[in-house]
Amino acid sequence: MTFGRFVRKFVTNPLSVLGLLLLLGFVAMAIAAPFLAPPQGERAKREPYRIPRDGFAAEPLPPNGEHRFGTTEGQYDIYYGVVWGTRTAFKVGIICTSITLVIGLIVGSIAAYYGGWVDEVLMRIVEIFQAFPFLLAAITLSAVLQARLGRGLITGMLALIAFGWTGYSRLIRGDILTVKQRDYVLAARAVGVKNSRILIKHILPNAMFPTMVVASMRIADYVLSFAGLSFLGLGTEIGYADWGQMISFARNWIPSLADYWYILVYPGMAIVLFVLAWNLVGDAFRDILDPRLQGSR
């Protein structure tokens, strides 16, 4: 498909355009974070992800001139957290997706290419990792890892990565098995090309494309799961610019949330729109690349 046709198909669906605009908005926000919410002072410049505090009072304060979105308990500035949280979200999503993609690629291609007992063993291992629901497994592992690494971005991401690779490895394995049957692979083998070279040069490039589409949608999944970890107190430390962590403050104010709506609604809106943007764009890609599915979701 030519690029021009791709773009034309993309813009005919208003939902896809909406998703793309939202996504570009978030990218802009992440890039412009130092201008939108400049860190004040030397220490803040070194650690821009610490949300600045305005005193230590326990009660959240509503939006006012100084704090556009108000402050949470402990007087963390919500506006600052929402803006810098965009960077955290992109970081988590992109890092987790690319690392799990690489692991999945390695495991999946080995399983598919060598087949036989290698395939059998690897797929059983995948099945064991998949015996747990993703979030449950990540919670368990990050609780264990915290005893060693402490609370933080890395701990949560490691837990997500450890259980996130399995889906890809299955997907890539399936794709490769299909491509493997093609004539050009047989031809390459007939002229005596080495196994590893066939895998890397001939099979992978052709099997990769559908996986990349799924990968783009997985970014939103990781951001959601990470926010879930943070929400439960297993992600970033308190006061870190991370949407899930900020929303977790709302748990302490449930009976009076009607008054303190801003501690939930602003960070909540950020995460909903972020995930929605990725899902809309991912849907659009899928519809265009696989016309059979058009309008079926």
Binding site for another protein (CB under 8 A): 15, 124-125, 127-129, 131-137, 139-148, 220, 224, 227-228, 231-234, 244, 247, 250-251, 254-259, 261, 264-265, 268, 271-272, 275-276, 279-280, 283, 293, 295-297
Least Å distance, CB 253 to another protein, is: 9
Contact 173, 104 (CB under 8 A): no
Give the SS3 label for residue 245.
helix
Comparison of 10 and 129: residue with beta carbon closer to another protein: 129
Helix axes 153-180, 134-149, angle to 10 degrees: 130
Least Å distance, CB 128 to another protein, is: 4
Comparison of 139 and 207: residue with beta carbon closer to another protein: 139
Least Å distance, CB 28 to another protein, is: 20
Q: Taking the alpha carbons of 242, 243, 246, 252 in that order, is the dihedral positive or negative?
A: negative
Comparison of 59 and 259: residue with beta carbon closer to another protein: 259
Nearest to 49 by CA among 220, 224, 218, 235: 235
Residue type, 284: A
Comparison of 186 and 272: residue with beta carbon closer to another protein: 272
Tokens (6 digits) for 56: 């230590």
Comparison of 204 and 275: residue with beta carbon closer to another protein: 275
Comparison of 10 and 132: residue with beta carbon closer to another protein: 132
CB atoms within 10 A of CB 145: 19
Least Å distance, CB 288 to another protein, is: 16
Angle at 292 between CA 286 and CA 293, to 5 degrees: 45
CB atoms within 10 A of CB 25: 14
Comparison of 31 and 128: residue with beta carbon closer to another protein: 128
Least Å distance, CB 276 to another protein, is: 4
Least Å distance, CB 43 to another protein, is: 28
Tokens (6 digits) for 286: 């899928």
Least Å distance, CB 49 to another protein, is: 21
| Long-range contacts, stretch 89-95, CB < 8 angstroms, 24+ apart | 89/26, 89/223, 89/243, 89/271, 89/274, 90/26, 90/27, 90/30, 91/153, 92/153, 92/156, 92/157, 92/160, 92/222, 92/223, 92/226, 93/219, 93/220, 93/222, 93/223, 93/278, 94/219, 95/157
